A and B are shown apart, each in its own frame.
Chain A
Amino acid sequence: MQANRNDGGWSPYLAGALVGVLAILSAYATTVWLGKTTYLGASTTFVRGAGIIEKQVVPERVEANEYFTKEKVRVDWQFMLVLGIFAGAFIASSTDKSFKLESVPPVWRERFGPSVGKRAAAAFLGGIVAMFGARMADGCPSGHGLSGMMQLSVSAFAALAMFFGVGIVVAAMVYGRRK
C-alpha cells in the first residue's frame, strides 16, 4: 500500500479505513448521546439548505410544502456535519499546503477550455440533476455508498451500481477521447 502517488496525501486505503472507524464511532456516539443511531450522509442537508434560503423569500410556500415538512427544515446534526466537512478540508489542506484556489478543474480545462462560464453552467445543471436524483434515491455516495453499504442494505448495493454504472457511461460521453 504505497503513498497516494506523489501529491503529499495519505494512502487512500488508510484514509478510507479511518473513515470506516469514524463511521462506527459516530454510529455508537449518536446512539448513546442522541438516543438515535445516526449514519453519515450529506444530501438531505441540501434540502434543508434550500428550505432555509427559500424561507427568506416565500416562507408560506416552504411551510405548505410536503417534502420540506417531511425532511424538517432546520440546522441539525447532518447540517453541521456538512459544514464540518468544509472546515476539516480547509484545515487539512492549509496545514499541508495543498490548498489551492482553482477556478476551473484542470481536467475540464483540457477538454472544454478555460471558460469559467462554461464550467459554471455545466456544474450548475449537473448539480440540479444529481441532487434531484439523490433525493429521489434517498441518498448519495455518503448515505448510500458508505452508510448503506456498511449496513448491508439492498438499496445501497443497487444505488451504488446505478451511480457508477451511469456515471461511467456519461463520463465517457462527456470527457471521451475525441479532441
Chain B
Amino acid sequence: MDTAQIMGLVTGILFGFLLQKGRVLRFEKQVGAMLLKDMTILKFMLSAIMVGMVGVTLLADAGVIALSHKPMNVGAILVGGALFGAGWAVMGFCPGTSVGALGEGRWHAAFGITGMLAGAALYAELYPLMKATVLSWTDFGKIGLPETLGVSPWAVIIVFIAVALGLFRWFESRGL
C-alpha cells in the first residue's frame, strides 16, 4: 500500500467507528430522518458540519489547505440530487453508510451496494448522453456561498450554527 492508501484506510476506520458509535448506519435511522420521526442523522451531520466548517475556514484562510468546491451545475445538482433522494429513501442507505452497515452485520446492505455498483456502471455508459443534456444546461462553476452573497465566510458560519442550534433545541423538545 502506498502512503495515500494507508492514510485513506486509517481515516476510514476512524470515520466508520464514529458513524457506528453515532448509530447513524442503520436503515431505520436514515428512513426515520426522511419520515421526520428520528433526527439522529441530522444531529450527527449538522454537528460534523459545524465543527468542520470552522476548522476548514480557519485553515483555508491561513492558506494551509485548499478549498475544492464541486461545481454548481444546475441540471446536475437538481436532477441528480432528486434521483439520489428518491433512491436513498427506497434503499435506506447512502453510499458511505451502506458499507458501514455491512460492517455492523446488516448484510442486507449488500443488495443496495450491488445496485449502486450497477448504477455507477450505468452512469459511465450514459455519461456522453448526460454531458450533452442535463450537464450542459447551466453551470455556475465552483462557487462558495460567501463570495456569491458577498459576505464573510464567518457571517455564513455564525448564521448556520445559530440555525443548527435552534434545530437541535427543537428536536430535543419534540423528542425527535
A residues apposed to B, CB below 8 Å: 4, 7, 9-24, 26-31, 33-34, 36-37, 39-40, 42-43, 45-47, 49-51, 53-54, 65-68, 75-93, 96, 98-108, 116, 119-159, 161-172, 174-175
Contact = CB atoms under 8 A, between A and B. Distances in A.
B162 interface: no
B52 A23 contact: yes
Contacts of B168: 13
Contact of A132 (B59, B103, B119): B119
Given A123-B111, A171-B89, A12 B22 contact: yes
Given A136-B79, A162-B77, A65 B124 contact: yes
B86 A54 contact: no
A86 B83 contact: no
Contact of B22 (A15, A80, A153): A15
A81 B113 CA distance: 16
Nearest to B119: A131
| Interface hub of A82, A131, A138 (most chain B Cβ within 10 A) | A131
A109 to B, nearest CB: 10
Contacts of A90: 16, 103-104
Contact of A86 (B1, B32, B102, B122): B102
B8 interface: yes
Contacts of B103: 85-90, 93
Contact of A22 (B11, B20, B32, B34): B11
A50 to B, nearest CB: 4
Contacts of A67: 123-124, 127
B110 to A, nearest CB: 9
A89 B19 contact: yes
Nearest to B55: A24
Shortest Cβ-Cβ A-B pairs, 7 listed = A84-B12, A127-B115, A88-B16, A162-B81, A20-B51, A130-B87, A133-B83
20 contacts: A17-B47, A29-B11, A77-B8, A81-B8, A91-B16, A107-B31, A108-B27, A119-B108, A121-B111, A123-B91, A123-B108, A125-B90, A128-B119, A130-B119, A133-B84, A155-B143, A162-B81, A163-B85, A171-B89, A172-B34
A36 B3 CA distance: 13
A101 B105 CA distance: 4
Chain B residues touching A, majority SS: helix
Interface bracket on B: 35 or more
Interface in B59-101: 59-60, 64-73, 76-92, 94-101
B87 A127 contact: yes
A130 B125 CA distance: 16
Contacts of B41: 12
B108 to A, nearest CB: 6
Contacts of A150: 48-49, 52-53, 55-56
A153 B26 CA distance: 28
B3 A9 contact: no
Contacts of A53: 117, 121
B118 A133 contact: no
A122 B5 CA distance: 33
A29 B95 contact: no
A166 B86 contact: yes
